[in-house]
Chains A and B, each alone.
Chain A
Amino acid sequence: MPASAYHHAFFQAGDGMSTYTPVEDTKTGKKLAGPVGWLDERLGLAALGKKNLRKVFPEHWSFMLGEIALWSFVVLLITGVFLTLWFDPSMAETVYTGSYRPLNGVEMSVAYASALDISFDVRGGLLLRQMHHWAAHLFIAAMMVHMLRVFFTGAYRKPREINWLIGLGLLTLGILAGFSGYSLPDDLLSGTGLRIADGMIKSIPLVGTHISFFLFGGEFPGDQIIPRLYMAHILLIPALLLGLIAAHMLLLVYHKHTQFPGAGRTNENVVGYPMLPVYAAKAGGFFFIVFGVIAFLSATFTVNGIWIYGPYNPAEVTAGSQPDWYMGFAEGALRIFPPLEFNIFGSTWPLSVLIPGLGALGILFTLLGAWPFVERWITGDDREHHLLDRPRNAPTRTALGVAGMTAFGLLWIGGGNDVIALRFGLDLNAITYFLRVMFFLGPIIAFIITRRICISLQRKDHEVLTHGFETGVIDRSPDGGYSERHAPLPVDAQYALTSAKPATVAIEAPELVDANGVDAPNGRKAKLRARLRRWYYAGAFDKPTVEEMQHAEEHLRDAGQHPVDLGEDFQGVSETGVPRVH
């Protein structure tokens, strides 16, 4: 196995036992010394490289989720450049004469005609267009999964709050990039999406109509919006994305990557492999895997077959019109919100568009942006955190996250309610009524269940630590009773479990009244904070004390003292009876 071979060589080199040749003495090194020296004298890269090329990153599969987003973005840039060579973002009218016969002779915009040409008349155009679209889907999906990982492990805590906000900015920009791209081909579906965006903008009281006229250069749809969106899509948004990605990664290097707790891992170190050559190779390889998965999807699955929709015409719409998946929750909110609108001083307030449309987006991003600061205020935790939480050890946070995911998922279902009704033979109205109730009930149920599961898992950890794990070996006592033998966890596992669990920050009773009987300033705020903190830590289960661990050690010491030896390697058995190795 190459990795372990490297592992071996690496440590030998470290021990100074191998026949290590300094790079400058190798053949290649001698040849490159001149040019590299020339560059270093002018750019000073050696010092920078020496420090950063050997920078250590921890190893875990979940740390690669953000990488999926990064590599998808690279694929987006590459395929996007290809598409710009052929796409013509003009809303001028033309008559289609390309290869797709069912649209032959149909009047349409130049933008749509060129998008059709990319799909049918440019060699490899459809594959590249689909790669661009699938990569966009994957980009946003990967950002969301990455964000969930960061959320559930508490990786956004001090000192990484700003990077969390940058990530949120990236997500926002990613969605904007996706939406603007969705709108460019000017087919019936993309125009319908723009119409909804126009409706959302117009729902802003008083100024909405003016903003809409400003954005569209007149009455919807006008002939301005596609060139404008094109500028945003290929210049403005990618530039901002690139800048934020750079900032995101610089901060990642500056803060150092977080790691999961384990033996030898502390808040002050990072245990893992160096950037060069391990992560350079791994990340480089992962790029090709991401590229390959995108190419596979694009070669086998249609994404946004624009030819089936026909050119945009404001008078037309097609059943099954949906936004791309990442806007599904906003669409769902629009669909399930009950009608609510009033007129005041000759101005219409369409709340049934304003609240679910802009409200759903606004509330989601506000909550996400505020959370690290709200949590910090509640817990009063001002320490730096470089060790990740296991989700079970932060039950309230985990439960809140799952509640949020539930609400998001229910709205997302709402966005596809017509397709669900049709495919599963359900009643469209029944789905809507169900979702209206479950949007409020579902997250509460999810919160309660998740928190209970987390606390149960903590208790399980506690039990395994203090009473050992079940070996699956049944002892029969002389008087005929049966009992299962327990054995202590390996020390590494014990360390990982105990260090994973930071002690809760003590709850101080707020001083409501000072010594002279005067209301303390901020007394009410302190009371609220104390109440929230009690709620946040409710059911918290502290890790075993030193005494408990010592007791456990004594208790389990004789686990090995038995006629049937378990052996040093024995780590218990799996459900299927196979001895397992931790």
Chain B
Amino acid sequence: MRTLSTRRRHPLAGLLVLAVGLLITGGLYAAVAPKAATAETTSIDDIEAGRQLFLVGCASCHGVNAQGIVTEGTDDQPGNYGPSLIGVGAASVDFQMGTGRMPMAQTAPQAPRKKIEYSEEEISQVAAYIASLAPGPQIPDERYLDYESLSDEEIARGGEFFRTNCTACHNSVGAGGALPNGRYAPSLHGVEAKHIYEAMQTGPQQMPVFSDDVITPEEKLAVIGYVRAMSTEPDYGGFSGGNFGPVSDGLFVWVIGIGGLVGFATWIGWHGTRTKKKKA
């Protein structure tokens, strides 16, 4: 305290007080202020900012006007360096950038989920820009993401939809599955509800589109609820090896079962044989 009081007449003291005051005010405002704007409340500024971001980070593959870049390709499959983004909507952008899939690190059969490169605000700006090009699926409303409010019956119903539409690729607990030519259906564990919803809505990469006519928003929410339930259910029978099916059973029974029992058999076999134990 002594130090503080002796220096209160310091020429810079006033400046310091001002700076602290500003910091507190700004910090409080940032913490308390209402969250900015989803896609619906975007401004012209957001769109312009998004366009600038797009030109820097996305245009090299998707074209300066997001029209896509077509390459020669083969007769039955036109080459596609980066697809057109006109009409993919804000939901697509939010999914691809919000899970770190875009921008891609390198050309690959499939863009993997990875570290997110852009801030939430930047993503919403790019989304606003893409949404401004043509109408497309919007980022889902909060009420379709509130999976925690679902009843058991609704989750079970989501399970029916999940088994009918999703397990063939994503596995019955959403652990993921392989697809031809190095592609795969990724694991759904730890994916945000918003992104699961958007994936169903926009059909990224190998995934088909499940439009609102096919699976209604309420049903999509139920599916999300089931995926979450599967991720959080305990392993009732003990360690499950990731629920990849019986392949891991074979591993365990050979390594622990046969391996262990051969060890025991050797132990029994060693004891009581007519081995000559010479005196040391």
Contact = CB atoms under 8 A, between A and B. Distances in A.
Interface of A: 1, 3-4, 6-7, 59-65, 67-68, 101-106, 119-120, 126, 130, 133-134, 137-138, 141-142, 145, 188-189, 271, 273, 278, 282, 285-286, 289-290, 293-294, 296-305, 307-310, 313, 315-325, 328, 415-419, 421-423, 426-430, 569, 581
B78 interface: no
B268 interface: yes
Nearest to A571: B278
Contacts of A297: 252-253, 256-257
A61 B268 contact: yes
Which one of B181, B233, B238 has the highest number of Cβ atoms from chain A below 10 Å of its Cβ? B238
A142 B155 contact: no
A309 B246 CA distance: 12
B274 interface: yes
Contact of A322 (B170, B184, B246, B265): B246
A6 B272 CA distance: 9
What's the interface size class on B, roughly?
35 or more
Interface of B: 109, 152-153, 155-157, 159-160, 163-164, 167-173, 175-182, 184-185, 226, 229-230, 233, 235-241, 243-247, 249-250, 252-254, 256-258, 260-262, 264-266, 268-274, 277-278
B253 A325 contact: yes
A289 B238 contact: no
A60 to B, nearest CB: 6
Contacts of A286: 264-265, 268
A301 B237 contact: yes
A430 B178 CA distance: 12
12 contacts: A4-B272, A64-B265, A64-B268, A101-B152, A102-B233, A119-B237, A120-B236, A302-B236, A320-B171, A325-B254, A422-B177, A422-B244
B273 A324 contact: no
Contacts of A61: 262, 265-266, 268-270
Contacts of B176: 319, 422
Given A141-B254, A324-B250, 13 more contacts: A67-B265, A101-B156, A102-B159, A104-B153, A137-B249, A299-B238, A301-B239, A305-B243, A319-B178, A320-B175, A322-B245, A423-B244, A427-B182
Contacts of A64: 265, 268-269
Contact of A104 (B156, B179, B180): B156
Contacts of A141: 253-254, 257-258
B156 A105 contact: yes
Nearest to A315: B164
A293 B230 contact: no
Nearest to B270: A61
The 5 A-B residue pairs with the shortest CB-CB distance, nearest first, are: A319-B177, A325-B250, A3-B272, A302-B237, A61-B269
A315 B167 CA distance: 11
